[in-house]
Structure 1
Amino acid sequence: MGDGKANFTVDEALVGMGFGKFQVLVLTYAGMAWISEAMEMMLLSFVGPALASSWGLSSNQQALLTTVVFAGMLVGAYSWGIVSDRHGRRKGFLITATVTASAGFLSALAPNYTWLMIFRCFVGLGLGGGPVLSSWFLEFIPAPNRGTWMVVFSAFWTVGTIFEASLAWFVMPTLGWRWLLALSSLPSSLLLLFYSVAPESPRFLCLKGRTTEALIVLEKIARLNGTKLPSGNLISDHDQTELQEKNNPPSEDSHLLSPTRDENETTKGTDPDAGGVSSVFMLLSPELVKSTLLLWLVFFGNAFSYYGLVLLTSELSTGDGKCVPNQMHSEKSHDVSYKDVFITSFAELPGLLISAATVDRLGRKLSMSSMFFLCCIFLFPLVVHQPQELTTGLLFGARICITATFTIVYIYAPEIYPTSVRTTGVGVASSVGRIGGMICPMVSVGLIQGCHQTASIILFEIVVFLSGVGAVLFPFETKGRELTDHVSSSSSKV
């Protein structure tokens, strides 16, 4: 940095090289993980009723199959985030893909209900690594069009749900649930097959002081994209901040205000090896605590609402307008209309289109909050019974809105955290969301089956509205904002 040459950061290099062939390959690889997670989650709608018929499972045992997956994801999202922040994104998703693929295939061979529960819990543990790959992909995208391409990445989830519904439609009536479980584990296996060619994030390498390796990755991006790197030396975000402070030193008065606190914040924000409990404490540091707590609220509300709406669709669209007792629910749950589930999966496409149209125009905060409040409007008429056609239309509209908010929050979450705690931050937030997914069947669908539709919908209204308020209160907008490497530099750019 002292040779007289110009300096450039990873963000500046990515903007200069643009989005090209390299990013398309990275998008395809990361998207396969999103397809895998969507398929493993979607199959729960088909396997439960099939097992109720072949193994004589009760409704509570069916629900427990879903709960253990969410429980595994809760632990995995936290654990793999810390691993990838300490040891690299590649090692993080290598472990998650291995666990998901092996446990998913072993689920198909489960001899009884207990073993199936264990294997599905491990599948959830592996699926908890989803935020690692989303953060990894994000770190290769130029800032100006980051939002749009993250929406495209989110579209892989919808592809996974549609593909799983199609697969179940053809496999379940003929080959049975074991074949569905085995075939659904293939996308995770493809991640392992192409793992050797997946590069490490140059932002992570810079954070660890491995700028030579980061430069090699950036040169590969330039070569595949047919562009050139900026001339000069590659420096990290922290190095750039130090240079700016050196060229524009703060006044003597600012040093006298709180020298100890400034030193402590710099030390805390620049420790690239912070991990485990220290990483979580960093999420609750003064610079990040507001963003973290609000993000937990939004993730909880999103997961609670999204998975709850999927379940509510089958609960409310009965067409007779009468409350169905619990025992009759268990009797009719053995029959699944694969065609209807397949068609319903397309409800997420408009949500993705809305996300793509608004995320880089209106910004993340306004896009999220407006969709949450619009969802409240769609749900409100359902506090009382409505005709079947209107009920279906209102639920369809609500699901569009929640799909849009879920898509946007997965763009916003990695952007508000610095590289040093990015996957940990998104992973912990995702874990909080899994709690919402675990709770929603018990407190929402349980109320519907207990003939308390009004109470159930009001509960949804409260959760969705509070999530919208949380989105409004986020401390800053990230549209077009450069990613940061450390907590101290993150707070300086707010």
Structure 2
Amino acid sequence: MGGGGGGDTFTVDDALLTLGFGKYQYFVLAYAALAWVSEAMEMMLLSFIGPVLKRIWRLSAKEQSLITSVVFIGMLVGAYSWGVIADKYGRRKGFLMTALVTTSAGFMSSFSPNYATLLVLRCVVGIGLGGGPVLCSWLLEFIPPPNRGTWMVVFQAFWTVGAIFEASIAWAVMPTLGWRWLLAFSSIPSFGLLIFYLCTPESPRYLCLNGKIKEAMTILDRIAKVNGTEVPSGTLVSDDDVVASDQDSTPTKRHKQGALTTILKLLSRELIRPTLLLWVVFFGNSFSYYGLVLLTTELNAGRSACAGH
């Protein structure tokens, strides 16, 4: 274990391999899944409220589309901002902030008195939704490396659960209670994130990379106790320490780099090809998925039974 030639050291990933995937990881997965269901619901409701508000507030097609567009604009801002915050202040604080923003703005949008207010609040919701990748990072940093691909697929399946749940709520609520209640009910899962926040642990990898070895070991010991396994013997070290030892360089060099430097690394000679490939794949997936989802209700808007109040 633990690179750098020393047999008495181990990294967080080494520990996770020994601890395995057990009850503790199921708890982490449950919390992350709730967040993913919440995000899916906030996104899916756009396809239901748009046609209704167009009729009630007599919006033009451009004004209706802007209700959706501002959410994605907010996500563009949030995706970068929350990543920086999570790297600087921790994964837990990162997704706490996203949950607070999404919950408050999502619930308040149900009381929007006019079109302009709704646009502002839904944009703020988008900023909160942009923090979704923080939850992905947090979840993956508790899962043993060989199992991450499998459990990420399982995690992504909860988006479908959220989409189905949102459609069910819209079917039940829109014809009788109206669109405002749909917005209010859709924010309930986000409240759940705030309720259970105190039970969530910080990522041991984040703690280790930031020199908080004792705190990281405490969490690893807790995982071992819940899973019925044991933490490897030896001294916990960060991945940076291992790399620095292999390269005979200073371990703290990475932490002195700014967020822009980190992003520019994606465009380096070694990473430019996979970076562009992932960008193209993600763009194509998002363009086709959201295009189809948000267009579906328009196909039957003229005969919709979910007109709402």
Q: Does TM, scored on the shorter chain, surpass 0.5? A: yes
Who is 2:120 aligned against? 118
CA distance in 2, matches of 1:53, 1:91: 40
Paired residues of 1:5 and 1:233 also in contact (CA < 8 A): no
Who is 2:45 aligned against? 43
- 1:72, distance to aligned residue in structure 2 (A): 0.4
Name which of 81, 84, 91 aligns with 2:83: 81
Query: Counterparts of 1:84-123 in structure 2 under 5 Å?
Result: 84-123=86-125
CA distance in 1, matches of 2:43, 2:256: 33
Q: For residue 285 of structure 1, what is the amino acid of its counterpart?
A: S
After superposing the two structures, state which structure 1 stretch, 187-196 or 63-72, moved more: 187-196
CA distance in 1, matches of 2:105, 2:220: 35
Q: For residue 127 of structure 2, what is the amino acid of its counterpart?
A: L
Who is 1:475 aligned against? none
Q: For residue 164 of structure 2, what is the amino acid of its counterpart?
A: I
Q: For residue 223 of structure 2, what is the amino acid of its counterpart?
A: I
| Pair 1:12 & 2:11 matched | no
Name which of 145, 162, 165 aligns with 2:164: 162
SS at 1:200's partner residue? Answer: coil
Paired residues of 2:25 and 2:143 also in contact (CA < 8 A): yes
What is the CA deviation profile of residues 413-451 of structure 1, one whole-angstrom value per residue up to 9, with x for unaligned ones? xxxxxxxxxxxxxxxxxxxxxxxxxxxxxxxxxxxxxxx
Query: Counterparts of 1:225-240 in structure 2 under 5 Å?
Result: 225-240=227-242
Who is 2:269 aligned against? 286
Who is 1:277 aligned against? 260
| Pair 1:333 & 2:304 matched | no
What is the CA deviation profile of residues 51-77 of structure 1, one whole-angstrom value per residue up to 9, with x for unaligned ones? 122211222211110000011001101
CA distance in 2, matches of 1:240, 1:277: 24
Name which of 131, 134, 153 aligns with 2:133: 131
Name which of 169, 176, 179 aligns with 1:177: 179
Q: Cα gap change, 1:63/1:165 in structure 2, threshold over 3 Å: closer, same or farther?
A: same
CA distance in 1, matches of 2:81, 2:222: 31
- 1:242, distance to aligned residue in structure 2 (A): 4.0
- 1:112, distance to aligned residue in structure 2 (A): 0.3
Paired residues of 2:25 and 2:142 also in contact (CA < 8 A): yes
CA distance in 2, matches of 1:133, 1:311: 24
- 1:311, distance to aligned residue in structure 2 (A): 4.6
CA distance in 2, matches of 1:106, 1:311: 22
Q: Cα gap change, 1:78/1:212 in structure 2, threshold over 3 Å: closer, same or farther?
A: same
Q: For residue 15 of structure 1, what is the amino acid of its counterpart?
A: L
The structure with higher relative contact order (CA 8 Å, sep 6+) is 2
RMSD: 2.3
Who is 1:309 aligned against? 292
Task: Give 5+ residue unaligned stretches, structure 2.
Answer: none
What is the CA deviation profile of residues 58-113 of structure 1, one whole-angstrom value per residue up to 9, with x for unaligned ones? 22211110000011001101110111112111111111110000000110000000
Who is 2:205 aligned against? 203
SS at 2:206's partner residue? Answer: helix
Paired residues of 1:46 and 1:336 also in contact (CA < 8 A): no
CA distance in 2, matches of 1:311, 1:114: 21
Q: For residue 146 of structure 1, what is the amino acid of its counterpart?
A: R
What is the CA deviation profile of residues 135-160 of structure 1, one whole-angstrom value per residue up to 9, with x for unaligned ones? 11011101122111111111110110
- 1:281, distance to aligned residue in structure 2 (A): 2.3
Query: Counterparts of 1:141-152 in structure 2 under 5 Å?
Result: 141-152=143-154
CA distance in 2, matches of 1:275, 1:91: 19
Who is 2:191 aligned against? 189
TM-score (normalizing by structure 2): 0.91
Query: Counterparts of 1:420-439 in structure 2 under 5 Å?
Result: none
CA distance in 1, matches of 2:119, 2:296: 26
CA distance in 1, matches of 2:180, 2:172: 13
Task: Give 5+ residue unaligned stretches, structure 1.
Answer: 247-262, 319-331, 339-494
SS at 1:108's partner residue? Answer: helix
**Paired-residue identity, %:** 62
What is the CA deviation profile of residues 275-315 of structure 1, one whole-angstrom value per residue up to 9, with x for unaligned ones? 33233223323333332222222211111121123356567
What is the CA deviation profile of residues 258-280 of structure 1, one whole-angstrom value per residue up to 9, with x for unaligned ones? xxxxx7xx78x942253332332
Paired residues of 1:86 and 1:275 also in contact (CA < 8 A): no
TM-score (normalizing by structure 1): 0.58
CA distance in 2, matches of 1:237, 1:133: 21
